[in-house]
Structure 1
């Protein structure tokens, strides 16, 4: 019987030295673990590169299992982290002093607590401003770890108070190595093509890759093919993307409209189609740079509209009609407007 435990948690590194591909970060933080000298920290970079794992590993290695619960407060984006939470829950936790505990069971146990704010870039600006004074007032007894994807969304007064650590997207080689280790542990068979596909569709996000792998294993058993991984990932099959591109090349609007309707009826996400269309357009040899620029501009506009809640059929039809005009090299002002 298969375990119900998520593989993302099962294979999450428990020590800083086990975090993959972030050599500079690991080297600096290893010194922190040896000396107990810990500044406020800001971890930023793409999803699935080890930011949260690293922050929690530091806390566990500093305090050990006995003191972890009393010394570490972790807040995620799912929690309410508006200004009221900063003024109450965070401030109350930060204000309480901790006693000096000598090295216990091999753990350093420094005389401070840690507050981990995951997805800090989703905090309101008012909440971030409220944290400034809290960080200064209680810096002797509390350290803050901010984790975010977009460092530009952290206000400068907070960012300047932290040591910054950038997490790089994982290379295909590193991801493949970790995936093969998990396959060996779980008794899975993954051929070279499937491994390459998994790295490609996860875009350097190891967490996403492991989730796809577990989903495919539960649905298709121990032998997993490239097609199996694509079917569980939500990625649009290449033949569907090619059919839409073929409709754009045809110059026949009714044919293009039929392909768009077929795509919507299949239930694929339009935003994913835009991403894959962009990748296909960039690799097209028959288009000039100007034509590619016109199509890319329309793809960007449609993506923004989808984020704002626009109708998927209309946006995709708008993209296809404009792409059709770009293929025929017709001036942009004559493109259809949907």
Structure 2
């Protein structure tokens, strides 16, 4: 519809620019084609070849969050259907729409209709499919069997064990591992350059460390740091916006626990926890990284990490935090005595 008389189309252009500036960077810099995928070259090459040969099977993409599962299949769909993407591909988040009614109505309605396409079939993308109910999964199995001639299904999940065997057996499975440090770093540098960010090298490394191989998490951290920064994004700011303890501070804390008597070590740990506003989970996670770098025997390191992991398990079971805090100090005291022997 043409603009009304007297109205300036500049308002529409400005509105589009504002919406782009407010867009989440995770979506703004999501790969638009398979060539832009940052990692998993072997998996991308295999899917591309299957697509080229018109032998694409039903897919099950699984692995940790933020590893590119959704990006790969969306990039593939855009390459296949181009401007017909919305007519030929159905994308659902199964964690929101996971009941049997959605499968019987929305998915079946889409899969059963014939649509003209040069590629020959439609694509149904079910993100977070491990959240689907068992009844919905069994209903989906029957739909896959019935409409496989016209439709391909791609299931995306973190935990394939929650997908019923009947569905797994009908899909070709690909496991996507956590992204490599360099893959995350290259993407952070690309986004920083595109957004004209002032970020230090230590800041980039901090984003990569805290991101832990999760591209979505890393980009969200970078955007949060940008919004919180007044000028330059550095290591201190990255750890501040994520609420994680600085490695140097945790190193000093661990050194104190290894040298101070038990009572004084407890006081120091409690003070640092309160002053920096840390959770015990954050402290345990940082201590694991610290212990991994200590020059001690493999036996002591393994035993120390085992005890820290047990503390982490106890915290997930809602055990008393005070008890776990004392346990942390006690295992440091034990490690100190073993090192001194």
Count of aligned residue pairs for this structure pair: 320
- Cross-structure match for 1:324: 333
Map 1:1-338 → 2, pairs under 5 A? 3-65=21-83, 67-94=84-111, 96-101=112-117, 108=118, 110-250=119-259, 252-265=261-274, 266-286=276-296, 288-329=297-338
Does the CA-based 8 Å contact 1:243-1:259 persist in structure 2? no
What SS does the aligned partner of 1:145 have? strand
Q: What is the alpha-carbon distance in structure 2 between the residues aligned to residue 54 and residue 251 of structure 1? A: 52
Measure the CA separation in 2 of the matches of 1:227 and 1:267.
15
User: TM-score of the superposition, structure 2-length normalised?
Assistant: 0.82
Deviates more, 1:202-211 or 1:317-326: 317-326
What is the DSSP-based 3-state SS (H/G/I as helix, E as strand, rest coil) of the residue aligned with 1:115? strand
- CA 320–129 in structure 1, closer or farther in 2 if over 3 Å, else same: farther
User: In 2, distance between residues paired with 1:88 and 1:301?
Assistant: 46
CA shift for structure 1 position 51: 0.9
- TM-superposed deviation, 1:263: 4.0
| CA distance 1:177–1:243, change in 2 (3 Å) | closer
| Aligned-CA RMSD value | 2.7
SS at match of 2:66: coil
Relative distance call for 1:129 and 1:243 in structure 2 (3 A) is: farther
**TM-score normalized by structure 1?**
0.83
How many Å separate the matches in 1 of 2:100 and 2:67? 29
Residue 145 of structure 1, CA deviation: 0.7
Q: Unmatched 5+ residue regions in structure 1?
A: 102-107, 331-338
How far apart are 1:14 and its partner, in Å?
Answer: 0.9
1:51-75 C-alpha deviation (Å, 9 max, x unpaired): 111111222222233x333432322
Superposition deviation, residue 79 in structure 1: 0.3
Tell me, in whole angstroms, the C-alpha distance in 1 between the residues paired with 2:316 and 2:133: 20
Question: Given that residues 33 and 61 in structure 1 are in contact (C-alpha distance below 8 angstroms), is that contact kept between their aligned partners in structure 2?
Answer: no
Q: Deviations over 1:19-53 (max 9, x none)?
A: 11221122223234445442101112332221111
Cα offset for 1:322?
2.8
Give the CA deviation at 1:187. Answer: 1.0
User: 1:260, 1:313 within 8 Å by CA — same for their partners in 2?
Assistant: no
The more displaced of 272-281 and 293-302 is 293-302
Structure 2 gaps of 5+ residues are: 1-17
* Counterparts in 2 of 1:258 and 1:80: CA distance versus 1, 3 Å: farther
Change in Cα spacing, 1:245 to 1:147, as seen in structure 2 (3 Å) is: same
Distance of 2:303 and 2:185 partners within structure 1: 36
- Residue 173 of structure 1 deviates from its aligned partner by 2.6
